C-alpha cells in the first residue's frame, strides 16, 4: 500500500514542483506566476472548447507514449516515436494513391492499418538491429526517426505531391468518406477512443496474459528469461512492432482526422512529448491515459499563454523539460532510505524527539522527497 | 555536367566537410571526454542547441564574437553539469537523463532565443584556405571557420592528455573501473561530473560554430541531431580524439552533399541526400558493432556497449 502511494505521489509531486519552478522561470520574464498557472489550467481544462482542444492533443500523445512504454517493458529505450508517427501518416495518405478504398469506416480502418504497419516495421527495425547487431536501440531509433522525416519530405514534396498545394507541399486530400470524424458532433475525434482502447488493451496484455508477462520478464531480467527459455528475440521484436504500430496509428489518425492530408505540420513533436508522458507514467499503460490528458492540456494552453501573456510558444517545451528532469530526479530520491536518514539526523537536534518508526511513514517521507527534489534543482 | 560544375560540387563538399564538420568535431570531442569517464551524455543535443543560442545571443549583446563563443561554451557546460549531477543520484539512468536534457535544452533555447531570430550578430573571422586558387567558387567554398584549427588542436591535446597526464589517466580510470578508482581514494562521481561538464564546454564550442559562422543566424532548426550523431561517431572513432577529427570531416562531407548538389542546380532528392549522415551512421554502427562482444577501445563502465 505504501509503495503504491509512493508510485502515485512521486510523479504528482514532481509535476507540482515542475509547475512551481516554471512559475519562477516566467517570473524572471516579468510575468506573474499565478496568472500563468491560472491560464495553464483555463487553457487546458477551463471550458468545453479547451477540453476539446486538450483531448484532441491527448489522443496522439497516448499512442506515441505507448511506442516508448511497450518496448521499455521489454527492456528497450526507444525514442524514435516521431519517425514512426510521420511514416504512419505518410502511409495513410499514400494508400488511396495505390488502392481504391471503400468510402466508409472500413476504408478508415484500412488507413489505420497502413499506418500501423509502417510505424510497426520501422520501430521493429530498431529492435532487430539491436538483437542482431548489438546496436544501441536508443541511438538507432532516433537516427531512424530523422531518416523517416527525410523520406516523408521527399515523398510529400515529390511523387505524392498534390499539384494544387502551392505554398505548403502536401499530398492529395483524403476523400470525405475516409476521414475520421468527431465523436457526437464535437471536435474530439475517434482517435481518442483508439488511444484509450490501445492503452487499456496494452495494460491488460502486459498484466494479465502469459505473453505480456514474458515480455516483462525479458525486460526485467534477461538472464532469467534466458534460463527459462523465453524467445527473447521474438518478444522484443513484438514489443517494438506493437509500440511502433501505435505511433504509426497516431500518425494515420492525425492525417485522417485533423490535417486531411500529409504535410509538414504533421511533424509537431508528438513523438518527443510521448517519451515524457511514458516516463512520467512509469511505462504503465493505464497511467498513460491521465498523464497524456494532462500534457495534452499543457500543449493546448500553450497558445493561450502566447496570446494572453506574450510568452513564446516554446514555454510549454520548457515546462516539459523541467518536468522530465524532476521526474528522473525523483526516481533517484525515492531510493534513499529516509527513515534511516531522519533517525540518524534526529539525535543531533536535541529539541526534536527521535522520530517514531510508525510516524515516519508515508506522509512525511513523501513530503521530504518533494522538498528535496526542489532543493536539488 | 561540365568541368566547372564538378569543381563546384567537389569544392562544395570539401568546404562543407570543414564547415558542417566543425560542430560534429566539437560535439564528438565533448562526447568522447564524457564517455571516457564512463557515462553517455545524449543530452549533448540539447547542449548544442542551447549553446548555439547562447553564443549567438552573447555575441549580439556584447558585440564580440569571441565573447559569444565563451558564453555559449559556458552555457553548454552548465547544462552538462546538470546531467552530471542528476546521473550521480542513485538509480538514475544516464540515457534517460540525456533524453530529458535534450528536451529541456532545446525548449530553453527556443524560449530564450525568440528575440534572436531577427538580429545579426558579429561573426567569427574566416580563414581563407582557398586563396591559392583563381576560381571564385573554390575561394568562397573554402572559407574555414576560425574555430576549426582550435578544434583540431584540442583533439591533439586530448589525445596527448589521455595518454600522458595524471588528469587524463584519472578520467580513463573512472571510465574503465569504478572500483579501481574508489580503491585509490578518488571520487568516481566527482570525476565523472567534472568530465561531463568539461565535455559540455567543448560541445558548446560546436554550438558557437553553428551560429557564429556562415550562414550565421539563429533559428529553431539549427541543429538536427548532430549531438546524437556524435554519440555514434565516437563509437566509430573507437574513443580516440584523433580519429574523431577524421570521422567529423567524413560526416560533415556527407551532410554537405545535399546543399552542394542544390547549389549546382540538382534539386532532385534534396531531402534524401540530407539523410545521408544518418544512414551513414547506421551503416557504420552495423559494421562496427558485433553482438555479444564489446567494441574495441570502449571504456569498461560504459552502459551502451555492455
Residues B12/B214, Cβ–Cβ less than 8 Å: no
The CA-atom distances, in angstroms, between B51 and each of A325, B54, B55 are: 19, 5, 6
Q: Which residue of B has its CA nearest to A138?
A: B95
pLDDT band for B165, please (50, 70, 90 cuts): very high
B128's enclosing H/E stretch is strand B126-128
Q: How many angstroms separate the first and last alpha carbons of chain B?
A: 49
Asked if the structure places residue A117 within a domain, the reply is: yes
Q: Is the same domain home to A169 and A257? A: yes
Calculate the alpha carbon distances from A333 to A19, A241, A339, B70, B162 in Å. 19, 33, 13, 34, 34
Structural domain includes residue A301 = no
Q: Which pLDDT score, from 0 to 100, does residue B3 have? A: 75
pLDDT band at A375 (very low <50, low <70, confident <90, very high): very low
Interchain pair B111, A318: CB under 8 A: yes
The sign of the torsion formed by the CA atoms of A162, A115, A130, A328 equals positive
A295, A327, A354 — which closes off a domain? A295
Q: Is the pLDDT of residue B49 over 50?
A: yes
- Delimit the domains of chain B by residue range: 23-243+278-288
Q: How many CB atoms are closer than 10 A to CB A221?
A: 12
Question: Of A295, A325, A347, at which residue does a domain stop?
Answer: A295
- The DSSP letter of residue A259 is I
Q: For residue A227, what are the contacts with CB-CB under 8 A and spacing of at least 6?
A: none
Q: Are residues A276 and A320 in the same domain?
A: no
DSSP state of B246: H
First to last CA, chain A: 29
Q: Assess B306–A contact: CB distance below 8 Å, yes or no.
A: no
Compute the mean pLDDT over every residue in chain A, rounded to the nearest whole number.
84
Q: What is the DSSP string of B142-176?
A: TEEETHHHHHHHHHHHHHHHHHH-HHHHHHHHHHH
A359 has pLDDT over 70: no
Among B41, B271, B304, most A C-beta atoms within 10 A, so best to mutate, is: B271
Contacts of B110 in chain A (CB under 8 A): 312, 314, 317
Residues A244 and A361 in one domain: no
Does residue A242 sit in the same domain as residue A211? yes
Whether B281 contacts chain A with CB within 8 A: yes
Do residue A129 and residue B282 have CB atoms under 8 angstroms apart? yes
Q: What is the pLDDT of residue A74?
A: 93
B141 shares contact with chain A (CB less than 8 Å): no
Residues of A in contact with B97 (CB under 8 A): 325, 328
Q: Which chain B residues are closer than 8 Å to A144 by Cβ?
A: 278, 282
Q: Does B42 contact chain A (CB < 8 Å)?
A: yes
Beta-carbon separation of A143 and B232 below 8 A: yes
Q: Report the distance separating Cα B228 and Cα A30, nearest Å.
A: 35
Q: What is the pTM of this model?
A: 0.84
% of chain A beyond a pLDDT of 90: 38
For chain A, helix, strand, coil in percent to 5 are 75, 0, 25
Place of cell 536518514: A341
Share of chain A above pLDDT 70, in %: 88
Instruction: Please check whether residue A40 lies inside any domain of the structure.
Output: no
Q: Does residue A194 sit in the same domain as residue A258?
A: yes
A24 contacts on B by Cβ (under 8 Å): none
Question: B293 in contact with A at a CB cutoff of 8 Å?
Answer: yes
Q: Give the total residue count for chain B.
A: 306
Å between B235 CA and nearest CA of chain A = 11
Contacts of A322 in chain B (CB under 8 A): 104
How sure is the predictor about B305, in pLDDT bands with cuts at 50, 70 and 90?
Answer: very low
Same domain, yes or no: A102 and A231 = yes
- The pLDDT score that the predictor gives to residue A309 is 83
Q: Do B272 and A154 touch (CB under 8 A)?
A: yes
Please give the Cα distance from A212 to A206 (Å, whole number). 4
CB contact under 8 A, B95 and A77: yes
Q: Do B103 and A275 touch (CB under 8 A)?
A: yes
DSSP A136: -
A-B Cβ pairs (cutoff 8 Å, strict): 144
A318/B224 touch (CB, cutoff 8 Å), yes or no: no
Contact predicate A236/A76, CB 8 Å: yes
CA-nearest residue to A321 within chain B is B104
Domain with A232 in it: what CATH number? Answer: 1.10.3470
CA A155 to chain centre: 27
pLDDT at B131 (0 to 100): 73
Q: Are residues A64 and A98 both part of a single domain?
A: yes
Q: Is the per-residue pLDDT at B57 higher than 80?
A: yes
Q: Identify whether A339 is part of a domain.
A: yes
Contacts of A315 in chain B (CB under 8 A): 111
CB A332 to CB B275 under 8 A? no
The reported pLDDT for the residue numbered B140 is 72
pLDDT score of B306? 42
Question: Which residues neighbour B209 within 8 Å (Cβ) at sequence distance 6 or greater?
Answer: B22, B23, B26, B124, B145, B147, B148
> Which one of B100, B272, B304 has the shortest CB-CB distance to A324?
B100
B272 chain-A contacts, CB cut-off 8 A: 150-151, 154
Q: Give the confidence band of B52 by pLDDT, cuts at 50, 70, 90.
A: very high
Among A150, A151, A275, beta carbon nearest to B99? A275
Q: What's the confidence (pLDDT) of residue B138?
A: 72
Point out which residues pair with A151 in neighbouring strands: none
Q: Which of A141-145, A171-175, A363-367 has the lowest mean pLDDT?
A: A363-367
- Chain B CB contacts of A140 under 8 Å are 282, 285
A288, A62 contact by CB (below 8 A):
yes
In angstroms, what separates the C-alpha of A132 from chain B's closest C-alpha?
Answer: 6
Residues A221 and A77 in one domain: yes
pLDDT of the residue at A2 = 63
Question: A333 and A197 in one domain?
Answer: no
Q: What is the pLDDT of residues A20-65, one digit of tens each?
A: 999 998 888 888 888 889 988 988 888 888 898 899 999 999 999 9
pLDDT score, position A365: 39
Residue B104: list chain A partners with CB under 8 A: 318, 320-322, 324-325
Would you say residue A303 lies in a domain?
A: no
Of the candidates A68, A62, A81, the residue with the CA atom closest to the CA atom of residue A287: A62
A333 contact residues in B (CB cutoff 8 A): 89
Say what the pLDDT of residue A339 is. Answer: 67
Q: Please determine, for residue A128, whether its predicted confidence score (pLDDT) is greater than 80.
A: yes
- Contact flag B104-A322 (C-beta cutoff 8 Å): yes
State the Cα angle at B26 between A139 and B220, rounded to 5°: 70
- Number of Cβ within 10 Å of residue B213's Cβ equals 22
Cis peptide before A101 (omega within 30 of 0): no
Report the gap between the CA of B212 and the closest CA in chain A (Å): 23
Within this chain, do residues A279 and A320 fall inside the same structural domain, yes or no? no
Any idea what the Cα angle at residue A274 is, between residues A273 and A277, rounded to 5°?
Answer: 90
Distance between CA atoms of residues B172 and B162, nearest Å: 7
Residues of B in contact with A328 (CB under 8 A): 86, 92-93, 96-97, 100
Residues 6+ apart with CB under 8 A from B39: B84, B87, B94, B192, B195, B196, B302
Contact B289 A135 (CB under 8 A): yes
Average pLDDT over residues B148-158: 93
Residue A95 near residue A114 (C-beta atoms within 8 A):
yes
B289·A134 Cβ contact <8 A? yes
Is a pLDDT exceeding 80 seen at residue B181? yes
Measured in whole angstroms, the distance separating CA A141 from the mean position of its chain's CA atoms is 15
B150 vs B246: CA distance, rounded Å: 15
Cα dihedral sign, A366-A38-A307-A195: positive
A131-163 pLDDT, tens digit per residue, is: 888 888 888 998 899 899 999 999 998 888 888
Q: Is A327 a domain residue?
A: yes
In this prediction, residue A338 has a pLDDT band, given cuts at 50, 70 and 90, of: low
Which residue of chain A has the CA closest to B294?
A134
Whether B303 and chain A come into contact, CB under 8 Å, resolves to no
- Which one of A269, A295, A321 terminates a domain? A295
Query: Is position A369 within any domain?
Result: yes
Q: How confident is the model at residue A358 (pLDDT cuts 50, 70, 90)?
A: very low
Chain B partners of A65 at a C-beta cutoff of 8 Å?
none
Phi, psi of B269 (to 5 degrees): 70, 25
Q: In the predicted model, is pLDDT for residue A240 greater than 90?
A: yes
* A326 in Cβ contact with A17 (< 8 Å): yes
Q: pLDDT class for A366, splitting at 50, 70, 90?
A: very low
A154 CA to chain B: closest CA distance, Å?
A: 5
Q: How far is CA A174 from CA A162, A179, A249, A359, B184, in A?
A: 11, 7, 16, 62, 68
For residue A170, list its beta bridge partners.
A263
Best mutation target among A332, A334, A340, A369 (most B Cβ atoms within 10 Å) is A332
Give chain B's largest Cα–Cα span: 66
Neighboring chain A residues of B286 at a CB cutoff of 8 Å: 129, 133, 135
Do residues B44 and B200 make contact, with C-beta atoms less than 8 angstroms apart? yes
- Structural domain boundaries enclosing A18: 1-31+311-377
pLDDT score at A373: 39
Q: Is A262 helix (H, G, I), strand (E, B) or coil?
A: coil
Q: Is B93 exposed, middle or buried (0-12, 13-18, 19+ CB in 10 A)?
A: middle
Cβ–Cβ below 8 Å for B278 and A146? yes
Neighboring chain A residues of B101 at a CB cutoff of 8 Å: 321, 325
Length of chain A: 377
A191 shares a domain with A266: yes
Q: What is the ipTM of this complex?
A: 0.85
Mean pLDDT over B24-32 rounds to 93
Nearest CB to B86 within list A153, A316, A325: A325
Q: Please give the average per-residue pLDDT across A251-257, as a whole number.
A: 92
Nearest-CA distance from B285 to chain A in Å? 7
- A237 and A374 inside one domain: no
pLDDT score recorded for residue B274: 81
Helix (H, G, I), strand (E, B) or coil at A263: strand
Amino acid at each position: 500500500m505504501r509503495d503504491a502511494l509512493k508510485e502515485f505521489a512521486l510523479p504528482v509531486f514532481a509535476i507540482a514542483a515542475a509547475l512551481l519552478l516554471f512559475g519562477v522561470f516566467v517570473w524572471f520574464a516579468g510575468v506573474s506566476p499565478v496568472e500563468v498557472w491560472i491560464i495553464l489550467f483555463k487553457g487546458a481544462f477551463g471550458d468545453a472548447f479547451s477540453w476539446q482542444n486538450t483531448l484532441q492533443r491527448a489522443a496522439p500523445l497516448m499512442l506515441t507514449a505507448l511506442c516508448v512504454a511497450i518496448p521499455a517493458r521489454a527492456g528497450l529505450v526507444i525514442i524514435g516515436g516521431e519517425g514512426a508517427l510521420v511514416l504512419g501518416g505518410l502511409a495513410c495518405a499514400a494508400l488511396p494513391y495505390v488502392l481504391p478504398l471503400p468510402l466508409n469506416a472500413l476504408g478508415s480502418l484500412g488507413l489505420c492499418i497502413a499506418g500501423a504497419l509502417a510505424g510497426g516495421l520501422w520501430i521493429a527495425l530498431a529492435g532487430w538491429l539491436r538483437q542482431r547487431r548489438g546496436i544501441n536501440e536508443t541511438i538507432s531509433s532516433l537516427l531512424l526517426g530523422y531518416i523517416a522525416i527525410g523520406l516523408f519530405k521527399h515523398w510529400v514534396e515529390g511523387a505524392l505531391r498534390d499539384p494544387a498545394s502551392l505554398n505548403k507541399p502536401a499530398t492529395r486530400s483524403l476523400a470525405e468518406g475516409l476521414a475520421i470524424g468527431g465523436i457526437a458532433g464535437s471536435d474530439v475525434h475517434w482517435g481518442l477512443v483508439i488511444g484509450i482502447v490501445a492503452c487499456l488493451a496494452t495494460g491488460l496484455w502486459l498484466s494479465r496474459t502469459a505473453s505480456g508477462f514474458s515480455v516483462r520478464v525479458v525486460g526485467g531480467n534477461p538472464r532469467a528469461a534466458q534460463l527459462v527459455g523465453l524467445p527473447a528475440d521474438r518478444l522484443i521484436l513484438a514489443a517494438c512492432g506493437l509500440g511502433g504500430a501505435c505511433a504509426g496509428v497516431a500518425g494515420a489518425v492525425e492525417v485522417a482526422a485533423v490535417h486531411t492530408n500529409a504535410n509538414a505540420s504533421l511533424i509537431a513533436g508528438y513523438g518527443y512529448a510521448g517519451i515524457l508522458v511514458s516516463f512520467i507514467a512509469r511505462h504503465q499503460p493505464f497511467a498513460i491515459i491521465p498523464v497524456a490528458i494532462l500534457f495534452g492540456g499543457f500543449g493546448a494552453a500553450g497558445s493561450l499563454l502566447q496570446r494572453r501573456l506574450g510568452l513564446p510558444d516554446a514555454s510549454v517545451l520548457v515546462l516539459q523539460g523541467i518536468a522530465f528532469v524532476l521526474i528522473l530526479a525523483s526516481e533517484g530520491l525515492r531510493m534513499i532510505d529516509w527513515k534511516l536518514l531522519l533517525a540518524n539526523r534526529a539525535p543531533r537536534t536535541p529539541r526534536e524527539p527521535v522520530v517514531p518508526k510508525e510516524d515516519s511513514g508515508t506522509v512525511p517521507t513523501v513530503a521530504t522527497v518533494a522538498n528535496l527534489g526542489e532543493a536539488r534543482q | 555536367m561540365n568541368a566547372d560544375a564538378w569543381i563546384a560540387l567537389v569544392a562544395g563538399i570539401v568546404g562543407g566537410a570543414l564547415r558542417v564538420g566543425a560542430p560534429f568535431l566539437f560535439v564528438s570531442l565533448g562526447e568522447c571526454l564524457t564517455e571516457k569517464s564512463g557515462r553517455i551524455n545524449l543530452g549533448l543535443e540539447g547542449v548544442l542547441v542551447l549553446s548555439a543560442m547562447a553564443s549567438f545571443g552573447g555575441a549580439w549583446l556584447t558585440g564580440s564574437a569571441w565573447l559569444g563563443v565563451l558564453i555559449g561554451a559556458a552555457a553548454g557546460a552548465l547544462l552538462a553539469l546538470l546531467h552530471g549531477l542528476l546521473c550521480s543520484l542513485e538509480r538514475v539512468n544516464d540515457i534517460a537523463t540525456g533524453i530529458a536534457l535534450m528536451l529541456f535544452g532545446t525548449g530553453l533555447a527556443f524560449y530564450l532565443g525568440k528575440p534572436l531570430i531577427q538580429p545579426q550578430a558579429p561573426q567569427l573571422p574566416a580563414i581563407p584556405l582557398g586563396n591559392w586558387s583563381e576560381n571564385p567558387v573554390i575561394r568562397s567554398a573554402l572559407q574555414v571557420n576560425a574555430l576549426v584549427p582550435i578544434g583540431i588542436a584540442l583533439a591533439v591535446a586530448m589525445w596527448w592528455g589521455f595518454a600522458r597526464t595524471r588528469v587524463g589517466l584519472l578520467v580513463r580510470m573512472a571510465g574503465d573501473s569504478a572500483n579501481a578508482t574508489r580503491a585509490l581514494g578518488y571520487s568516481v562521481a566527482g570525476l565523472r561530473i567534472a568530465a561531463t561538464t568539461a565535455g559540455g564546454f567543448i560541445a558548446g564550442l560546436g554550438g558557437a560554430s553553428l551560429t557564429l559562422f556562415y550562414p550565421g543566424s539563429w533559428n529553431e532548426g539549427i541543429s538536427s541531431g548532430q549531438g546524437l550523431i556524435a554519440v555514434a561517431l565516437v563509437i566509430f572513432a573507437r574513443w580516440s580524439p584523433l580519429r574523431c577529427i577524421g570521422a567529423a570531416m567524413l560526416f560533415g562531407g556527407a551532410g554537405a552533399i545535399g546543399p552542394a548538389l542544390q547549389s549546382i542546380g540538382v534539386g532532385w532528392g534534396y531531402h534524401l541526400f540530407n539523410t545521408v549522415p544518418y544512414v551513414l551512421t547506421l551503416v557504420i554502427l552495423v559494421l562496427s558493432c558485433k553482438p555479444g562482444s564489446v567494441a574495441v577501445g570502449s571504456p569498461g563502465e560504459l552502459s551502451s556497449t555492455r
